[in-house]
Amino acid sequence: MTGLDVRESFGGRFWRLQTPDDDHVRALARHLDGSDLLARLLAPRGLTPDAVGAYLSPTLRALFPDPSSFRDMDQAAALVLDAIVEGRRVTVFADYDVDGGTSSAILARYFRAWGRDLGLYVPDRLIEGYGPSPGAFRALKQAGADLVITVDCGAAAQSALEEAARIDLPVIVIDHHLMGRQAPPAAALVNPNRPDDTSGQGHLAAAGVVFVFVAALNRLARARGLAPDAGLPDIVDWLDLCALGTLCDMSPLQGVNRAFVRQGLKVLSKGQNTGLRALADIAGLSQIDSVYHATFVLGPRLNAGGRVGDPWLAAKLLATDDRAEAIAIAERLHALNEDRKAVEAAILEQASSDAERALAADPDCGILIAAGEGWHPGVIGIVAGRLKDRFHLPSIVIGWGEGLGPVAKGSARSVRGVNIGDAIAACAREGVILSGGGHAMAGGLSLDPAQLPALRDWMRGHMASFSAARTAARELSIDAVLSTAAVTPDTVDRIETLGPFGQAAPQPVFVLPDVTITHTRRIGDTHLKVTVEDGQGRVEALAWRVVGTPLGDGLSHRRRIHLAGRLKADSWQGRRRAQFEVIDAAAAD
């Protein structure tokens, strides 16, 4: 690796430097004002020179899909527009996460533009679980709903939709999750991931599908010569919600998603959504203008209601135009997020200890399964992700107990090359657990706590065939080597022109080679600030959640190291500077 040969880092990883073809780099550089650095960062992403312009400047005009290319989109738009015009009672049934909340808020705002109210139903994670149930549809029918629109759920709700059909409750499903080959009964089912959909938009989050849906509604209304008194709504004003749902659901930033996020961040920075402005104020943000703000400041707070509190809060906040109501909800979500962090920290500490013991007993176990009575189902997914990131292994975290639902619930996160959703589904089919499934990188399961030993044995046996994938998961891909002198705001600004960064478009990873740690101090309970120097300059680096880990221990002593991480800009008291966010480190001697 050009003077570096990291086979075992402090974080237990091996590093690989990207080595793009020089001719490809030169061809890209001609479209990047001659920048060799930017060309080297883009080359591994598979971009051709002709595609650089659309990638760097994505527009809705160029990338927005034809709504009619989605199966059932036109049918769904006709049903909803008829309901709006006729004043029928319509309810949106939303998932309890950010993608569900933003999706429902887009629809609520569309209905409001027509002078119509849209009812809201969000299931309780502990009592009802994910998605619609027969009981929920019966309750909505009894409450007088004429039409239900599910968002970010419903595509696999076979029994619930069969019940809706039985009681004569029309349901339109707008979803993006993978589903079986047989579509459940629905008045319309809009899902770019249904097997017979040919739109090519399977990368969209639910908020993206809903945004296309309201575009279809506007198009149909124009064709019919219909509009509210104030005119058809300008849906561009809701791109902030679309971007937020896309980012927080970790949807790949490709195709129109790049335009949704790039343009949505511009809308977000205006602070025109009353609920988001209130939440930003409570969180201490003067302006919301970055992927980080959306994903790591607003997202966790919006999710907190569905995790450890009232699942309706996020959808209500995002839909309201009442400042007083927004402040009250934002304060509640902020407090719930603090509760969530405390609960998560306690479970993570126990789960990490379980994982360390399991690996000490069997280093080749292939999967980490941590379980505990009283572990809240609302945070086990976050904890599973933390374990996966630290140990580079598929991880399942399971919780149960009084007040936490009728059965034990598990959440799984996986590494590249190990399809955890398929594994869980197979485990359920064989009767080892009660139920479960998911997709390649994440899954969920239900089981009786007495089934835990059988689950561990089954999963360890299943993972034996994935040893090569588990090894590959330990690889850290390095985009480029930088000197400390290059860690400047100007470098950060140049790199930011390649954004937005996110899923499938990761922020570049750099190495500062052979630097010396001159100072380390703890920030809070789990973070470190490290100062490193070489003959060319000094850099401040932040390492999150590393205290008590091998990486944290490796950064806690004066020594020569290679430091891997990402660049970010930081502003303090009017001074803008570049910081280095640590991903990994390795001894340089």
pLDDT exceeds cutoff 90 at 467? no
Distance, in Å, from the CA atom of 121 to the CA atom of 207, rounded to the nearest integer, reads 17
Q: Does residue 576 carry a pLDDT above 90?
A: no
pLDDT tens sequence across 61-88: 999 999 999 999 999 999 999 999 999 9
* Amino acid in the structure at residue 477: S
Per-residue tokens: 461: 């046996």
Q: What is the pLDDT of residue 441?
A: 87
What CATH number should be reported for the domain whose range is 64-335?
3.90.1640.30
Alpha carbons 54 and 44: distance in angstroms, whole number: 17
Residues 168-212 pLDDT 10s = 999 999 999 888 788 899 999 999 999 999 999 999 999 999 999
- How does pLDDT run across 239-267, given as a tens digit for each residue? 999 999 999 998 999 999 999 999 999 99
Q: What pLDDT shows up at residue 3?
A: 52
Over pLDDT 70: what percentage of the chain? 99
Contact (Cβ atoms closer than 8 angstroms) between residue 204 and residue 89: no
CA distance 334 to 223: 44
**What are the residue ranges of CATH 3.10.310.30 in the chain?**
362-472
Decide: 110 and 135 in contact? Cβ < 8 Å. Answer: no
Where, residue-wise, is CATH 3.90.1640.30 in the chain? 64-335
Distance between CA atoms of residues 256 and 44, nearest Å: 21
C-alpha span between 340 and 334 (Å, rounded): 10
Task: Give the rounded distance of the alpha carbon of 52 from its chain centre.
Answer: 25
Q: pLDDT tier at 558 (50, 70, 90 boundaries)?
A: very high
> Where are any strands of DSSP class E within 210-358?
none
Q: What is the band of 371 on the pLDDT scale with cuts at 50, 70, 90?
A: very high
Banded pLDDT at 1 (limits 50, 70, 90) = very low
The CATH number given to 362-472 is 3.10.310.30
Q: Are 170 and 78 in contact (CB under 8 A)?
A: no
Residue 521: phi and psi, rounded to 5, are -140, 150
Is the pLDDT assigned to residue 2 strictly greater than 60?
Answer: no
pLDDT confidence band for 470 (50 / 70 / 90): confident
Indicate whether 588 pLDDT > 80.
yes
Q: What are the tens digits of pLDDT across the range 272-320?
A: 999 999 999 999 998 888 999 999 999 999 999 988 888 999 999 999 9
pLDDT at 123 over 70: yes
According to the model, what pLDDT value does residue 153 have? Answer: 93
Count, residues in the chain: 589
- Average per-residue pLDDT in the chain? 94
**Domain 14-18+479-587 = CATH 2.40.50.460:** yes
Contact 318, 94 (CB under 8 A): no
The predicted-structure confidence for 33-45, as pLDDT tens digits, reads as follows 899 999 999 999 8
Q: Above 90 in pLDDT, residue 575?
A: no
